Every structure is written in structure tokens, then in C-alpha cells.
Chain A
Amino acid sequence: MRFAKAVTPPHQPESKMGFNLPAMRGAELPDLVSVDVQDLFPDIPDAIHNYGQDVAPVRKAAEDALANVDFSRIKATDSVNVLCSEHGFGMMGGTAYAEILKTIRDMVVEKTGATKIKLGFACGLNRVEALEILPEHGLDKHYEGQTFQFGPYDKGVPIDTEIGRLYGIGIAFKANKIIHVHYDDPRELHFHRLNGRAMKAFTMSYARLETRSVYHTQFPTQSANIVPRLIYESDFIQKKFAFSTTLSTSPAGVIGVEANNSLIELDKVLTERTLRNYGKLVKLFESLDECIVVIDGHRWLNYSHAGGMTSCNLFFGPQDYLDLDLNVTRKNQTSAVKAIVINYMWKQAFAMSEIPVISAQPSISRLFQRRGVEKQFYACEGLTEAMEKAYEVTDTRKVIVFDGTYGAINCSPELAEEFITKAPQVSEEVEQVHLPKWLKQRGLVPAH
């Protein structure tokens, strides 16, 4: 088979934490090719925006979506916190997510006359992210300097729910009204199971570490989203909640913007779209039995993108997390990932205890050496050396690069061939078996 050359991925953000940009991108590896996601699955919707392209269609989509929102919940005298998350800026360079945030402020001012509007930035791991991100997108200027960042250890505010007391971040909710600005890539399907995912931010982005711990460890994954649901439905939040907006994507790129005064209604739209738009790639990834993952995206090991899919979609084993009948047990946890090569990232999020980890640069090696959890860790001096080590410790030449790319997957010819060979059967199985089941389990189609 002949394949297209690897596509140029989004630029990588510079770290203010002392991690160096790599000298060589993953896409520059010899023999690397790309597979267009719409060649794999032609029904993946076309994008209105991708990295580096004009952002005007996103602005138009946001204005159209917000035109259907009831702004009367916000009075001119109200203080308003527009709440966003670091994760949204990890998609296609963050330009589209930032444009939604700008549009929201402009329309709140226009429709309500409110002027006390702040942008609240939920950090993924630390506050430095705000310094890295907000100025890059001109958000500090657009919000006239009224921005703030917060993390899971900031002062809490109690939120009493039907299952007991939980804690939000005080400063996030220190306004008369809040607007929740979401994003919809398929990260962490293994946790939220796409069962109320749009609400998850209330137990993560805007929650204290105790509440995040409850969500993570005191509920099975198919049930855990009761926690954010009850926070969202608490009197405390409902008095403040104005509306929610989400960046809507497919593996090809941004396909639109959704907005709704009801987060539950918005969640239904988001859930159905994600199942339809990403379901086939989820199953295709699930079908892999071996590969080397190269992390070459932005900040996170888990959330770098390849064809719109996130790296964590590969780390958590070949299980159908979209099937709500699946009980995750400790007996069937294996992974197709035979080695992880880290070319760029500095947010690890969890230890890779069993999978060999190969760092391509010293500043990143220190991250892993500090924790010392990985049973096989190799520190290398560059991507070429790291790839040689990866080939040495595995028996595979199947390589996938998570470099932030939407629209295509940069990978080795061996993996590209496997993707193309398997795609037709995966497509048929998803259409005939899995998608109807996933939808039915979520009440999105009438029971037959």
C-alpha cells in the first residue's frame, strides 16, 4: 500500500516549568505516514475548523448556538464567572475553544448589559498553565484583565447534595452566575463511560480534591457520574447556573458549537454526537493488539491527540467502555501499548507501572525518575535514540504518534495498513451492533 506523508501537527506550547521543546517532532520520523480519518470512516462529519485554519466559522457557530440560549437568567448587575478548563486548550492548539470564550463574553455584554464578567480558568495540574495559555490566546485582554485561575487545593465551598456534602472551589463559584464552557474529545471514556460526561467538570475542574477522590475511587465508573449530576442539581449550583456551551468536534476537527440552558439537555446532544462521530475510531483502537505510542503533543501524556482520539483511549485496555453493561474487573486489564516514547509532555497524571517508558529528553526523564514507579524506564538523548530503544524492547514496528493532529493519524506504514484493513469490518460492526446498543443504553433511541 502507498500512504500519504505524515501531516504537520499543531505547534507545541512552550513550558514555563523547565521542559524543553524537542529538536525533532514525531511526524519527522523516517518513513512515518498518515491515514485520513475520513478515508477510514467516510461518515465522519466534515470540519468547519482545524488547527491553523480561519477561526471565523467557530465564531459564527458560537453566535448561532448562543442565539438560542435564554440570557434572562443574567441581570445587568450580576457578577458572572465564565468557567473554562485547561483541557479545552489542548485541542487543535486551543484556538477554537478560546474563540468560544471570547464570543460568550461579547454576547453576555450585548444581551444582558452585565459588565462584571470574569474568566475562571480551571488548571489541570498547576497554576502556571494560566500564564502559558491565557496570554497566548489574548484572553486576558479580551476579558479586560478579569481572569483568575484555580486548582483542586484552593479554598473549598461546601455543596450539599442528596448523597451528602461535597466541596467545590470557592473562587470558581464566587459570582451570582456561572457559565460552564465544555469540550467533547473522547478523553477518559474509561472513567465517565459517556454517561453524563458534560457534567463531569463539577466533580473535576471545579471541585476540591476530596470530591475528585470520591468520584475516582468510591464509585464504579458506570455509576460515578451520579456525583457531578447531583452537584449540578444542587440548590447551590442551580441558583447560579446560567447556561453551558461546548466545543463540538469529530475526528476531522471542529464541527460546531452547542449551547443550552440545561446541561442535561446539552449532555444528551453531546453524548449522541460523540457515539456517532467517534465510536468507530474507538472500536478501531480497541482492535489493536500491539503498538508503540509516541507522545509528542502538548502538556499531557494522557490527552494528546491523534486523529482526534486521545492517547488514554489506548492505555486502558481493549474493553468496550461505551458498553454500560461492562463491569470493569481486575482480571481483564491488558493493553496493546508495548512501549511509550515521550518526546514532549510534562503532565503525567498517572504512573505507567508495567509499560516500558522511554524518555527522549533529559528534562522529561527527571519527571519519571522522581517517582521511580515505572518498572522499565529508559532515559535517552533524542527521539531517534528513543525509537531505537523502543524497537529493542518490543517486537513491533507499529507506531502511532499522538501529536495533536485532527483529521489524520500519523503512524508507521505497518499500523496504517492495519487501520485500513480493519476499518470496513469495524464500521459494519459499530453500525449494526455497537452503536444501537450504546444509544439504547443511554435512552437516546426508543427501545425496540
Chain B
Amino acid sequence: MLIVASVVAVEADKCIGCKACDRVCPTEAIITVNKLAVVEESACTGCNKCIEACMDHGAISRKRLEKPVWLRVDLESQPEEKVAELCAGARLHPAQSICPCTGTRAREVAVAILNGATTPAEVSIQTGVRGVCSMWCTSAVLRLLSAAGHSTESNPKNWRLYPDGVGPSIWSIPDSVADKYPEYRLRESRDALKSGDLELVGFPNIRQESE
């Protein structure tokens, strides 16, 4: 869940149409049309990546909304069993926090997907996930989309996302690598995950909801 209190606005006279902003926007809320960046406010999560991308020109700034917008899904809109099944397919527990910035849990993303989201951008707009740093949640979002049968492609014209960069994981470590680097305890970790002695919990300060 994310509360969007401000979005971005473009100053047309400063915009040179270089596309630096739309190449980084995680929700495709800002695109360049006829050499001018245009903002779709309803898709903007206020992450400010475009502001930074435009720092040299200063054409983009924050615009405070009169009324904050809550990006969140109705958890009751999908049956718990279907949500749990989708999360399991992505090796996630529904209550697992997948985004330390927004506190978004796996079940929220699963509900968004079951409600029709088929791309990372659509998931972000529904839940707020990836609306701040994107450095934690990205792989979990892609895994949940993949588990639902939605593949994510990169676009060579921008660098919003490189979906082919989230493949490596403890589950896919080759034995040859595990044997070559015993100091990282890869076999032990893999076995502990299989047996349930270990769970991948990214944010140990955030106590899990009761299961």
C-alpha cells in the first residue's frame, strides 16, 4: 500500500523531449509525445525517478495532490485459497512482506494479479509496490506474474526493467557452484529452505502477520 500525496508535472518550456524520464518510469506514467514529456497522473506513484533523470534540465517537479490517493487492493476481492496458491507458485508466503518501503505483502500483489494486472506497471499502480526504490520487490513481483502465466519482456528502447536479470536464486544454484564456493553454504541453505528450517525473510524488523 502506498499513499500518493504528490505526482510529477512537466514544465513544457524546459522539456527538450530527450526521453530520459520515460526510460526510467516504472509505471509508464510519463511518456514523450511529439518531443514533450506528458504525465498520466493516475499512473504516477510519485517515485521521483523521472525528476532525477531530468536533473540537468529541471523540467520535472513535484505537484502536490489536493487529496492523497491510496494505492491498495481490496484483499477480500479474491478467495484466500487462490491467493495462497499463486503465492506458493512464486515461493512466497501470502503474509510475507516483499517491499520494505511500502510494506506491501505478497498477498496484495497476488490479489492485483488475480484482479487483472498482467504487467509490473499495472501491479505497481494497483498496490504501490515498486513505487519507491524497487531494489527489493522487483524480483518478487516478476515471480508472482510469472507464476500467473504472465511473462515480462524488456524493451530495448528504455531501461525501466531488465526481466532477464532476476533469474539467479538459491533454488537454481548449480551444484558445481555450490561445491566451488563452500564458504557461502549454498547446499546447506538450499537444504534448510527445503526442510523448512529456513525461510527467506527479507525484512526481519517487520514482524509477520499472524498466519
Interface residues of A (CB under 8 A from B): 125-128, 151-156, 158, 161-167, 190, 195-196, 208-214, 216-220, 222-223, 225-227, 229-230, 315-317, 324, 327-330, 333-335, 348-355, 366, 369-373, 442-443
Instruction: Closest B residue to A443 by CB, please name it.
Output: B183
**Which residues of B have CB within 8 Å of A165?**
164-165, 167
- In the complex, what residues of B have CB within 8 A of residue A229's CB? 181, 184
Other A-B contacts than A317-B204, A350-B203, A353-B97, 16 sampled, CB-CB below 8 A, are A153-B24, A156-B159, A163-B168, A167-B162, A210-B138, A210-B163, A213-B136, A218-B171, A218-B200, A219-B169, A223-B170, A329-B197, A330-B199, A334-B207, A349-B100, A370-B5
Given known A-B contacts A190-B204, A355-B205, A213 and B174 have beta carbons under 8 A apart:
no
Asked whether, in the complex, the Cβ of A126 is within 8 Å of the Cβ of B52, the reply is yes
CA of A366 to CA of B3, assembled, Å: 11
B12 in the interface (beta carbon within 8 A): no
Whether the pair A373, B162 counts as a contact (CB closer than 8 A) is no
Residues A330 and B208 in contact in the complex (CB < 8 Å), given A164-B167, A349-B100: yes
Q: Are A327 and B49 in contact (CB under 8 A)?
A: no
**Residue of B at shortest CB range from A347?**
B133
- Nearest chain A CB to B190's CB is how many angstroms away? 8
Contact status B133-A152, CB under 8 Å:
yes
Dominant SS at the B interface? loop
Most buried by B among A163, A223, A366: A223
Return B46 CB to nearest CB of chain A, in Å: 8
Given known A-B contacts A163-B172, A208-B165, A333 and B207 have beta carbons under 8 A apart: yes
Report which of A211, A328, A366 forms a contact with B204, defined as CB distance below 8 A.
A328
Which 8 A/B pairs are nearest by Cβ-Cβ distance?
A350-B100, A210-B165, A218-B169, A373-B103, A212-B135, A213-B139, A213-B138, A163-B168
Partner of A218 from B102, B161, B162, B170 at Cβ < 8 Å:
B170
B168 touches A218 (CB 8 A): yes
Choose among B134, B174, B203 the residue that contacts A152 (Cβ–Cβ < 8 A): B134
Q: Which residues of B contact A348 (CB under 8 A)?
A: 101
What's the nearest-Cβ distance from chain A to residue B33, in Å? 22
In the complex, are the beta carbons of B103 and A216 less than 8 A apart?
no
A356 CA / B178 CA spacing, docked (Å): 42
Complex-state Cα separation, A334 to B171, whole angstroms? 28
- What is the CA–CA distance of A210 and B134 in the complex, to the nearest angstrom? 8
Could you tell me which residues of chain B, from 92 to 144, have a CB within 8 Å of some CB in chain A?
97-98, 100-103, 132-140
Closest-CB distance, B170 to chain A (whole angstroms)? 5
- Which listed residue, A125, A190, A217, A327, touches B133 by the CB 8 Å rule? A125
Q: Can you list 16 contacts pairing A with B, beta carbon distance less than 8 Å? A: A127-B52, A158-B165, A163-B168, A167-B162, A212-B135, A219-B169, A220-B192, A222-B189, A229-B184, A316-B204, A324-B185, A328-B204, A329-B199, A370-B3, A371-B2, A373-B102
Kindly state whether residue B1 has any CB partner on chain A within 8 Å: yes
B193 in contact (CB, < 8 A): yes
Q: How far is the CA of A243 from the CA of B24 in the complex (A)?
A: 32
Cross-chain contact B172 with A164 (CB below 8 angstroms):
yes
Q: How far is the CA of A153 from the CA of B2 in the complex (A)?
A: 20
Cβ contacts under 8 Å, B185 to chain A: 222-223, 324
Q: Find chain B residues with CB under 8 A from A164 CB.
A: 167-168, 172
CB distance from B36 to the nearest CB of A (A): 22
Contact A227 B168 (CB under 8 A): yes
**Chain A residues near B202 (CB-CB < 8 A):** 216-217
Asked whether B75 is an interface residue with its Cβ less than 8 Å from the other chain, the reply is no
A210 in contact with B161 (CB, 8 Å):
yes
B residues less than 8 Å from A127 (CB atoms): 52, 55
